[in-house]
Structure 1
C-alpha cells in the first residue's frame, strides 16, 4: 500500500466559522430536541441546529487532549449544534472519508500540537498543519467498509 504524507488541511474542510456557543442560561431558555455538542460529547439539547449532515468533531480544548481517556474525535450525523470547544470538519469529497479522518485523529499522537498546561488546547492553526501518512481514497473507502 502506498502512503502519501499530507497536512490535515488537505484532507478536510473546516466549519468552525459556523459554530455558535450558547451560555448555560441561553441553553436553559432554548431547551429542545437537537443535540448540543461541547468538546467531547453532547452536553445539552436545544431548540435549533447549525449543522445538518455528517461531520467529524475534534476536541479543541480540555484535559482529554492530554490524557486521551476518551476519543478526541467523533463522527456525528443528523441535525445538531456545536459550541466553540470542538472543531468541525468534513472530509473533502474524493480525497478522504469522515470515518478515516476520525481514525487518523484518534489513533495518532497529537501531543506536539497541543498547547497550554492549565487548559490544553488544539488550535485550528495547529490542527491544520498536522502531517499524516494516508493511503489512496479508494483504500480509505475499502477500510471504511471492513
Structure 2
C-alpha cells in the first residue's frame, strides 16, 4: 500500500492519500510503502488511511510533507481481523455502487447536453444566431481568499475544489472546512453565485462549474468564501439586466 509523503492532497483528504497496488512496482521517493503485519488486512488499512486527515502529522509550509516519523504516529482503529475484512468488503461494494451511479449520471449528462443543443444550438458555432455577449458584461468576477495550512481549523467556511465536483449542478457543502483569515463582505458567497474551477490536477476538471445554493442543512449561518487557488466566482452583475 502507498501513502503520500509529499505532494499529497493533505488539505483535501477526500481526494485520497493512500492507494493499494499489486504486482511489480517501482515507487519514487514521494510515497511511503506500507506492508501490514499479520494482524492487519491491507484492504482495511487502505480504507482507514485513504481519506484520513493527516494534517496534524504534516510538516512544511509551502509544500506539506508527511515524514516517516509523522506517518508512524498516525493512530488507527484495530478491530479483529475478520471484522476488518468485513468492513473493507462493505466499502468495496459501496464503491462499486458509486461507480455505477456515476456512469448512469454521465449518461444523463450527455442526454442533457444533447437536449440543450437541440433546443438552443451549439453555443460555439451558434447556428441559431443568438446575440453573443461576453461574460464580463453580465457577471462580476471575484477570487476568494489565500491562506496557509496553519490557518485551517477555525474561522470562515471555505469552498475548495473538492466541493465543486458533485452529482448535480450544485456545490457539495459536505466537508467544508474553516480558515482563520479576515474576509470582507464582498468575498463571501451569495445564493445563486456561479463558481468555476480555475486549476485542477486533472485537465477535465478545469472550468468545471457549480452553483452555490446556500448552506441549508449545514447548521451554519455564515456564508462561505471560495478558495482562490483553485476556484473563481462569477456573480451576476447588478449593473445589467
- Coarse TM-score class (shorter-chain normalised): 0.5 to 0.7
| Per-residue deviation, 1:88 | 0.2
Distance 2:57 2:24 in 1: 30
Partner of residue 124, structure 1: 68
Distance 2:85 2:5 in 1: 27
Distance 1:110 1:63 in 2: 10
Q: 1:67 aligns with which of 4, 12, 19?
A: 12
Distance 1:67 1:108, change over 3 A: closer
Distance 2:17 2:71 in 1: 12
Distance 2:40 2:29 in 1: 24
Tell me the TM-score normalised to structure 2 length.
0.35
Partner of residue 112, structure 1: 56
The higher-RCO structure (CA 8 Å, 6+ apart) is 1
| Per-residue deviation, 1:61 | 0.4
Q: Which has the higher strand share?
A: 1
Partner of residue 86, structure 1: 31
Tell me the TM-score normalised to structure 1 length.
0.57
Distance 2:50 2:87 in 1: 15
Distance 1:107 1:63, change over 3 A: closer
Partner of residue 232, structure 2: none
Q: Is 1:63–1:119's contact at 8 Å kept on the other side of the alignment?
A: no
Residue ranges of structure 2 left out of the alignment (5+ in a row): 91-241
- Alignment length, in residue pairs? 90
| Per-residue deviation, 1:107 | 3.3
Partner of residue 146, structure 2: none
Distance 1:118 1:132 in 2: 27
Q: 2:45 aligns with which of 93, 101, 106?
A: 101
Q: Max radius of gyration: which structure?
A: 2
Distance 1:89 1:69 in 2: 20
| Per-residue deviation, 1:141 | 1.7
1:94-137: per-residue Cα shift (whole Å, max 9, x none)?
x1111111111123221100111101000010111111222111
Residue ranges of structure 1 left out of the alignment (5+ in a row): 1-55
Could you say what secondary structure the match of 2:33 adopts? strand
